[in-house]
């Protein structure tokens, strides 16, 4: 049989129908409200590739090194073409169309892939294959074949290899389900998705659920106590768009939500109670917490999908802080700036040269004059970090915060006063370094940044996160941020140990591109489908000069105001084009959540030149999201011209904007006390920029250090900024602060 109906499917049929269909069969068997559907089975897909004789060529085509992005792209294209261009045998066509006619005469259906390695209890591959909505008539057969082909997209091939699933043993089924023309829809977690606590969290928006799942709209958020049924918290979002079925074409389209419904609550008390009851029934049936997609049409609730929640921690893992026990009376040795909060005890490891990094073991405390990108692997092993030099925006400070490792920077004499192997305790909040070890609570760097209750505060202003190194992506994603507002390329490139020119000369341009692709891909995977905004290379000459090949770099009195950012990129297009080629490959691989951001632009000429180079390597600037950093007064004053040439977003880099507006070098101790990102001149430039961008439909954001400052957050939300990107350890506080400000604005508007 080519098809099975949901009535005949149970949870243990996963091998025949895939995870999604098996779950729907279970829900149907439990007499829960599931729209009628049939499944084109995994055996049907297997029969298709074997009867047509394409199976051998198919699996040979995808047997490639997935770290080679060029080979991966070619493999995906070849495999997909094989499936899409091979006719479906007549016997399969007839059975599928006969089943479709039973659903209804030319009835709109949702066609969803259901891979046999999807929605497993310990791994979820949901979203890797295709879904099509509002499919009718003969188009169904083409959509089924496209679902089969989506088993071999670049992302799907890469994920299977990463998870250890052989390509030739993973099959794919296709669910064909009567389309629910939803008035409202969303998702429901039957228990807290991080802790497993007894709360039900429901997200809801107008129209079809694809807008919620894809992140196109910020939904309402409702948190319900399972034990009492009480509604603990309600967050009503500004729902600007909705996905609906176009009555003329039958296609799914995005429409603006009417003004009267944008700020209106989607779900009433009775609907919440019905969803809560269904959630409890679903979890009781499966015996474990579930992630459920639901929809409401004409007052009737329908369940569209249910899968296990795979993000609940099994228990606190052992932290990196050394076991305590007071060894001796503590004595303050040195003090500096508390750059990354937390306490850590361990043996000091003095690192004066890179070849000494091997002596840093798990639980040690790195003590160095300063840190560099080459030291990141050792920093990941360390319990804490102490540096003689550096401030709150130094490499040591930024990377330590992202890794969740306590750090003290600017301690001046640490490398002189501390001895190798000496047991010390550092306080990354107070900035102190003391002798001896103190008992500490176990820490989990990822769990400590994860939102607790609710899953995260739902806000109209998006709250994103800054990421400097790909190694921090998992921790960054655990914050529940709406995406990455700033992923810096320079830390990735500088960690290669050579200037871009020297690296290309020694290893070839393709290898350089691969390094960038791999680094960005790691973050894009962790956040998909949430957006990841990647800033092109922006390292000053003094940092390049420390690398192999850096002897030709110019010597500048103030490198921060010199040869860096887009001005360097445009001056060296032969190198810059390789960065852009990396973005092109990422887009080709299916990473449509990656966005390109250009640093230190001054005017429209910079923007147009960068756009021409993007188009020159084959990036469709109309289709892809790209924008600029606003880091100079010139760029703020020229924003309207830049908006007119097609930028999608403008993001404030407050570290540089403050420095250049106030003529204050933040690394100059003589004037550092005059550095003030909340200065009225900075705020005026920001306010003007936000207003102009809003008039031209350009999104605005902030990704500088000030995005983590409470006063700045309040100001920007009141001005109407689109998103705020904060440091990893500040995301939770910023989320709550944004919510407080938005609620106050709503209250003020109705009083």
User: Is 557 assigned a catalytic role?
Assistant: no
Q: Quick check: 17 and 173 in contact, CB under 8 A?
A: yes
Instruction: Mention every residue, 6+ apart, whose C-beta is less than 8 A from residue 452.
Output: 194, 195
Four-CA torsion 503, 507, 510, 514, nearest 10 degrees: -70
Q: Quick check: 140 and 109 in contact, CB under 8 A?
A: yes
Four-CA torsion 86, 92, 97, 102, nearest 10 degrees: -150
Instruction: Mention every residue, 6+ apart, whose C-beta is less than 8 A from residue 585.
Output: 69, 70, 73, 513, 517
Task: Read off the DSSP letter of residue 126.
Answer: T
Q: Report the alpha-carbon distance of residue 379 to residue 385 in Å, rounded.
A: 7
Q: Report the alpha-carbon distance of residue 374 to residue 512 in Å, rounded.
A: 17
Distances in Å between the alpha carbon of 152 and those of 43, 71, 147, 643?
17, 13, 10, 38
- 167, 192, 243, 395: which is the annotated catalytic residue? 395
Task: Read off the DSSP letter of residue 67.
Answer: T
* Counts of helices then strands in the chain (DSSP H, E): 27, 29
- 492 closest CA partner among 464, 532, 523, 449: 523
- 520 closest CA partner among 588, 583, 604, 461: 583
3 state SS of 71:
helix
Task: Read off the DSSP letter of residue 13.
Answer: G
Q: At what angle do helices 42-51 and 14-29 cross, to 10 degrees?
A: 150
- Residue 102 falls in which region: left (phi positive, over 0), alpha (psi -120 to 50) or beta: alpha
Distances in Å between the alpha carbon of 671 and those of 362, 478, 659, 665?
39, 38, 11, 7
User: Is 679 assigned a catalytic role?
Assistant: no
Tokens at 450, concatenated: 């994860």
Q: Report the alpha-carbon distance of residue 483 to residue 465 in Å, rounded.
A: 6
- 455 closest CA partner among 479, 486, 432: 479
Four-CA torsion 485, 487, 490, 496, nearest 10 degrees: 180
Return the half-sphere exposure (C-beta side, CA atoms, 13 A cut-off) of residue 86: 23
Tokens at 595, concatenated: 């966005």
- 147, 638, 693, 703: which is the annotated catalytic residue? 703
Q: Quick check: 466 and 486 in contact, CB under 8 A?
A: yes
Tokens at 579, concatenated: 């960065």
What is the set of active-site residues? 395, 703
């Amino acid at each position: 049989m080519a098809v099975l109906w949901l009535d005949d499917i149970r949870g243990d049929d996963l091998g025949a129908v895939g995870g999604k269909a098996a779950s729907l069969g279970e829900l149907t068997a439990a007499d829960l409200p599931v729209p009628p559907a049939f499944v084109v089975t995994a055996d049907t897909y297997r029969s298709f590739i074997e009867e047509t004789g394409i199976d051998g060529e198919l699996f040979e085509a995808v047997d490639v090194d997935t770290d080679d992005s060029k080979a991966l792209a070619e493999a995906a294209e070849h495999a997909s073409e094989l499936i899409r261009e091979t006719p479906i045998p007549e016997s399969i066509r007839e059975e599928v169309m006969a089943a479709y006619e039973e659903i209804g005469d030319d009835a709109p259906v949702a066609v969803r892939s259901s891979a046999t390695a999807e929605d497993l209890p310990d791994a979820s591959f949901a979203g890797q294959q295709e879904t099509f909505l509002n499919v009718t008539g003969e188009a169904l057969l083409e959509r089924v074949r496209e679902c089969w082909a989506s088993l071999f997209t670049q992302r799907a091939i890469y994920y299977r290899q990463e998870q250890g699933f052989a390509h030739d043993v993973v099959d794919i089924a296709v669910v064909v389900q009567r389309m629910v023309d939803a008035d409202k829809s969303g998702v429901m977690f039957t228990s807290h998705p991080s802790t497993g606590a007894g709360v039900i969290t429901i997200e809801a928006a107008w129209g079809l659920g694809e807008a919620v799942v894809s992140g196109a709209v910020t939904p309402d958020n409702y948190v319900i106590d399972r034990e009492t049924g009480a509604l603990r918290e309600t967050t009503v979002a500004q729902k600007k768009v909705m996905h609906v079925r176009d009555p003329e074409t039958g296609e799914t389209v995005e429409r603006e939500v009417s003004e009267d419904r944008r700020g209106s609550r989607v779900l009433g008390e009775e609907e919440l109670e019905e969803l809560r009851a269904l959630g409890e029934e679903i979890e009781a049936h499966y015996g474990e917490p579930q992630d459920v997609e639901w929809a409401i049409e004409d007052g009737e609730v329908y369940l569209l999908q249910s899968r296990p929640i795979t993000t609940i921690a099994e228990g606190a893992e052992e932290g990196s802080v050394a076991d305590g026990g007071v060894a001796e009376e503590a004595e303050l040795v040195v003090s500096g700036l508390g750059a990354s909060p937390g306490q850590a005890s361990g043996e000091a490891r003095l690192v004066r040269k890179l070849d000494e990094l091997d002596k840093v073991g798990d639980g040690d405390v790195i003590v160095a004059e300063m840190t560099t990108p080459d030291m990141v692997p050792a920093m990941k092993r360390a319990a804490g970090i102490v540096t003689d030099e550096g401030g709150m925006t130094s490499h040591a400070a930024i990377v330590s915060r992202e890794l969740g490792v306590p750090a003290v920077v600017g301690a001046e004499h640490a490398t002189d006063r501390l001895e190798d192997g000496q047991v010390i305790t550092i306080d990354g909040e107070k900035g102190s370094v003391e002798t001896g070890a103190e008992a500490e609570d176990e820490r989990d760097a990822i769990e400590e940044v994860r939102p607790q209750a609710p899953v995260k505060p739902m806000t109209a202003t998006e709250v994103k996160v800054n990421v400097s190194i790909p190694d921090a992506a998992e921790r960054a994603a655990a914050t529940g941020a709406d995406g990455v507002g700033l992923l810096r390329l320079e830390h990735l490139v500088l960690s290669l140990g050579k200037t871009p020119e020297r690296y290309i000369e020694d290893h070839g341009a393709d290898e350089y591109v691969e390094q960038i692709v791999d680094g960005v891909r790691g973050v894009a995977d962790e956040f998909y489908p949430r957006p990841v905004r990647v800033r092109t290379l922006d390292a000053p000459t003094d940092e390049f000069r420390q690398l192999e090949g850096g002897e030709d770099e110019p010597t500048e009195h103030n490198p921060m105001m010199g040869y860096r950012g887009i001005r360097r990129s445009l001056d060296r297009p032969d190198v810059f084009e390789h960065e852009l080629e990396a973005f092109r490959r990422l887009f080709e691989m299916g990473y449509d959540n990656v966005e390109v951001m250009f640093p230190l632009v001054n005017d429209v000429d910079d923007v147009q030149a960068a756009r021409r180079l993007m188009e020159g390597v084959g990036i469709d600037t109309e289709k892809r999201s790209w924008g600029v950093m606003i880091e100079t007064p010139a760029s703020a004053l020229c924003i309207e011209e830049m908006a007119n040439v097609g930028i999608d977003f403008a993001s404030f880099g407050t570290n540089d904007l403050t420095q250049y507006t106030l003529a204050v070098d933040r690394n100059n101790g003589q004037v550092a006390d005059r550095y003030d990102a909340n200065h009225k001149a900075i705020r005026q430039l920001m306010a003007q920029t936000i207003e102009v961008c809003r008039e031209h439909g350009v999104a605005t954001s902030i990704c500088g250090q000030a995005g983590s400052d409470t006063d700045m957050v309040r100001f920007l939300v009141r001005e109407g900024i689109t998103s705020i990107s904060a440091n990893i350890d500040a995301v939770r506080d910023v989320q709550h602060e944004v919510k407080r400000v938005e609620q106050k604005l709503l209250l003020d508007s109705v009083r």
